[in-house]
């Protein structure tokens, strides 16, 4: 899945404070849009949780 690839790539990236702020902002926007679309089944929900967790980890 694309999200797993993005999360794996982000594990090796170093972000500035500004980039971390932007990444967190975009994650919030993405989450809100997807929740409004109500496109979750169990597999999709787990993939999104894993993706978001990996990006949060990269931003710390």
Q: How many CB atoms lie within 10 A of CB 4?
A: 12
Rounded to the nearest angstrom, the gap between the alpha carbon of residue 60 and the centroid of all alpha carbons in its chain is: 13
Can you give the pLDDT at residue 46?
84
Residue 56: how many other CB atoms lie within 10 Å: 13
- Tell me if the pTM is above 0.75: no
How many percent of the chain have pLDDT more than 70? Answer: 72
Give the number of domains in the chain: 1
φ, ψ of residue 16 to 5 degrees: the values are -75, 170
| Range of the structural domain that residue 49 is part of | 2-58
**Which H, E and C letters describe 32-43, residue by residue?**
HHHHHHCCCCHH
Task: List CB contacts of 11: < 8 A, sequence separation 6 or more.
Answer: 54, 57, 58
């Amino acid at each position: 899945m694309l999200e797993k690839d993005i999360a794996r790539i982000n594990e090796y990236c170093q972000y500035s404070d500004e980039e971390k702020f932007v990444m967190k902002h975009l994650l919030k926007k993405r989450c809100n849009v997807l929740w409004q679309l109500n496109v979750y089944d169990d597999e999709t929900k787990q993939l999104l949780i894993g993706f978001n967790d990996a990006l949060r980890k990269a931003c710390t």
